[in-house]
Homo-oligomer: A and B are copies of this chain.
Amino acid sequence: MEQNHKNVIVGQSGGPTSVINSSLMGVYKTAKDRGAHTVYGMLHGIQGLLERKVVDLSEQIPDDLALELLKRTPSAFIGSCRYRLPEVELNHPIYDQIFDYLNELEVGYFFYIGGNDSMDTIKKLYDYGQLIGSEIIFMGVPKTIDNDLAVTDHTPGYGSAAKFIGTMTKEVICDALVYDMPIVTIIEIMGRNAGWLTAAAKLAQGEDCNGPDLIYLPEVEFDYEAFEQNVKSLMEKKKAIVIAVSEGIRIKDGRYVCELASSGPEFVDSFGHRSLTGTARFLADQLAMNLCCKTRAIEFSTLQRCASHMVSRVDITEAFQVGGAAVKAAFEGASGQMVILKRVSDQPYICITDTYDVHEIANVEKKVPRHWINDEGNDVEEALINYIKPLIQAELTPTMVDGLPRHLSRTKSLPNQGQKVAANL
């Protein structure tokens, strides 16, 4: 049997993005074009695989219209998970279960679209495969709005999130200028430990907009006193002040700013990540009390990762490319690798794909370099904006039906059909 006559399986993992489905398409179409027999999709990633929940993607994406809609559908089409595999050791029942099932499905190629936590899954599966002498190939496909994956120039998903953040920041600044009275608007942007997303608020600055007045990334320790002093000085010069803060900014003792507020019950996921929220609200309340001014807190929240009505065409194209490149490399024998993007030049923007050892990428967080943040730690440097700009270019118009964007939804009966398919094999 020729290698690419084996079956392919693909999963989506971690937080969704607006373009993760484009990577799914990249894997699916390229595998099909190159002769893959069946392309399975895991429902909810490795977690679904363990429950034998897989679907035949050709049933889910029956035609070109479905493909076009899928491109414009946010969130992970076949579902995602936050599931951490145990440490690799021989004869571990979870790994045996996975490999047995993959063999049962006659899978030769395993693709996992995700961020640094998800690459941990690829790393462990590859390592276990090596231990037991499996021929199954494991490839990682990069994805995360956080842009915090190591080695790759950037990650698909980031450009669209940055474009949405830049757009909304511009619109919020227009809104903030509307009254002739002092008001401090604090925008809270995602990013637990890396400030890439928050930095994108600076994109708002241009001929028609002054951009945010202050920007605070988690890479720099947050000093409330200095912050209040900065706001005070600005208030002497202008009425409407707009500030962008990362949800993950921390004070000197390491506590998150949002932890300083009294908060409701907390939820910690299986990777130990707490949900951080309330940073902007806490700072807005503090300023209102201390400076006696009107303040408001705006969380861009989940919208940052699901606003598929405003995606970057560069991003969605690259998301497809990394999926396709993963299949090509895998069909040529690469394994235990993740596809990376390598920027060849900024003007014109040229970016190529390559592959890299997933062991060097899994669980590593790439932060914003300190020299891309100003000395005071309250703004970003032009070099950072020049880095982001090419990633937000051009659009993909949503397919509007009856006034709203149309998405592709999974055929409802399929989770069960998937189980049936699996059971029949």
**DSSP majority for the A interface?**
mixed
Kindly identify which residue among B170, B174, B299, B389 contacts A299, using a CB–CB cutoff of 8 Å.
B299
Whether the pair A75, B175 counts as a contact (CB closer than 8 A) is yes
Kindly identify which residue among B75, B307, B392 contacts A177, using a CB–CB cutoff of 8 Å.
B75
Whether the pair A307, B180 counts as a contact (CB closer than 8 A) is no
Residues from chain B with Cβ under 8 Å of A295 in the complex: 267
The A187-246 residues at the B interface (CB cut-off 8 A) are 203-204, 206-209
Give, as a whole number of angstroms, the nearest-CB distance from A69 to chain B.
8
Q: Report the bound CA distance from A281 to B275 in whole Å.
A: 13
Q: Report the bound CA distance from A206 to B16 in whole Å.
A: 22
Known: A296-B275, A403-B312. A180 touches B306 (CB 8 A): no
Residues from chain B with Cβ under 8 Å of A76 in the complex: 178
Q: Is A303 an interface residue (CB 8 A)?
A: yes
Whether the pair A404, B167 counts as a contact (CB closer than 8 A) is yes
The A306-337 residues at the B interface (CB cut-off 8 A) are 306-310, 312
Whether the pair A407, B174 counts as a contact (CB closer than 8 A) is yes
Whether the pair A302, B179 counts as a contact (CB closer than 8 A) is no
Q: Is A80 an interface residue (CB 8 A)?
A: yes
Q: Report the bound CA distance from A264 to B177 in whole Å.
A: 23
- Number of copies of this kind of chain in the complex: 2
Residues from chain B with Cβ under 8 Å of A294 in the complex: 267
Whether the pair B403, A389 counts as a contact (CB closer than 8 A) is yes
Closest to A401 in B: B206
Whether the pair B303, A298 counts as a contact (CB closer than 8 A) is yes
Whether the pair A394, B389 counts as a contact (CB closer than 8 A) is no
Residues from chain B with Cβ under 8 Å of A98 in the complex: none
Q: Report the bound CA distance from A95 to B403 in whole Å.
A: 45
Kindly identify which residue among B178, B297, B392, B401 contacts A16, using a CB–CB cutoff of 8 Å.
B178
Whether the pair B404, A163 counts as a contact (CB closer than 8 A) is yes
Residues from chain B with Cβ under 8 Å of A406 in the complex: 208
Q: Report the bound CA distance from A48 to B178 in whole Å.
A: 12
Give, as a whole number of angstroms, the nearest-CB distance from A409 to chain B.
5
Whether the pair B264, A206 counts as a contact (CB closer than 8 A) is no
Known: A81-B179, A178-B76, A306-B174. A298 touches B296 (CB 8 A): no
Whether the pair B306, A309 counts as a contact (CB closer than 8 A) is no
Residues from chain B with Cβ under 8 Å of A179 in the complex: 44, 79-82
Closest to A278 in B: B281
Residues from chain B with Cβ under 8 Å of A174 in the complex: 16, 73-75, 306, 308, 407
Whether the pair A79, B285 counts as a contact (CB closer than 8 A) is no
Task: List 14 A–B pairs whose Cβ atoms lie within 8 Å, in order of A's numbering.
Answer: A16-B178, A75-B171, A75-B175, A82-B179, A163-B404, A168-B303, A171-B307, A171-B405, A174-B407, A264-B285, A265-B285, A389-B403, A392-B403, A394-B400
